[in-house]
Amino acid sequence: MALVGILSVSLIYVNLNSNTPTTLKMLRIDDVDHVDGDIVDLGTGTESVVVDARPDDPKAVVEVTGDSGFEVGENKLEIKVTGSDNKTSQVYTITLVKPELAGWCETNAELIGNIQGAWEEEVIYELPGYAELEKYAADIKANPSCFTEDLVEEVNTNY
């Protein structure tokens, strides 16, 4: 009988102190690597982001909140990793900053989002000419604050 009591106490102790990994081996937002605490400036017209969070423990569960419905200013993106023991968890936080639009940027937010999105797909999928940047080069050069730095640099260098 004493042996049964010792075994049950040992099992309870092990169960209460279970600690499974909640670390991420990869955290990408829109195909760009990030780490906990990063601040990301969203492009004009961005309505959502794609989060690829891969835990070190393949049995861990990943929950993402705050990946859409952005307000002007700072938005909190949270990635919660719950270990396979369902007790241990860790939250990774990225700050997403949505720009305040005015003037040309505000009037053309949808067009800007389409141009920016097409250019990002061109880069990711290596589709030269897909974004038709020559068609929009004048607008991009005249309104660089409406676009990401990478896109503005591409247009200034090549168009």
Per-residue pLDDT tens over the stretch 10-39: 434 444 555 789 999 999 998 889 999 999
Domain CATH for 59: 2.60.40
Same-domain check for residues 65 and 23: yes
pLDDT of res. 127: 83
Residues near 5 by beta carbon (within 8 Å), at least 6 away in sequence: none
Q: What one-letter code names the amino acid at 24? A: L
Q: How many folded domains does the chain comprise?
A: 2
- What gap in Å lies between CA 77 and CA 65, rounded to an integer? 6
Best mean pLDDT range from 11-15, 54-58, 107-111, 116-120: 54-58
Residue 115, Cβ neighbours under 10 Å: how many?
Answer: 25
Asked whether residue 49 is assigned to any structural domain, the reply reads yes
What size, in residues, is the chain?
159
Rg of the chain on CA atoms, in Å: 23
- What gap in Å lies between CA 40 and CA 95, rounded to an integer? 6
- Domain final position from 55, 74, 98: 98
pLDDT of res. 4: 45
Same-domain check for residues 91 and 116: no
Asked whether residue 3 is assigned to any structural domain, the reply reads no
pLDDT of res. 120: 85
Domain range for 108 is 103-158
Across 68-81, average pLDDT:
96
Same-domain check for residues 108 and 86: no
Structure tokens of 116?
């920016």
Same-domain check for residues 82 and 31: yes
SS3 label, residue 122? helix
Say which range, 6-20, 30-44, 118-132, has the weakest mean pLDDT: 6-20
Same-domain check for residues 81 and 111: no
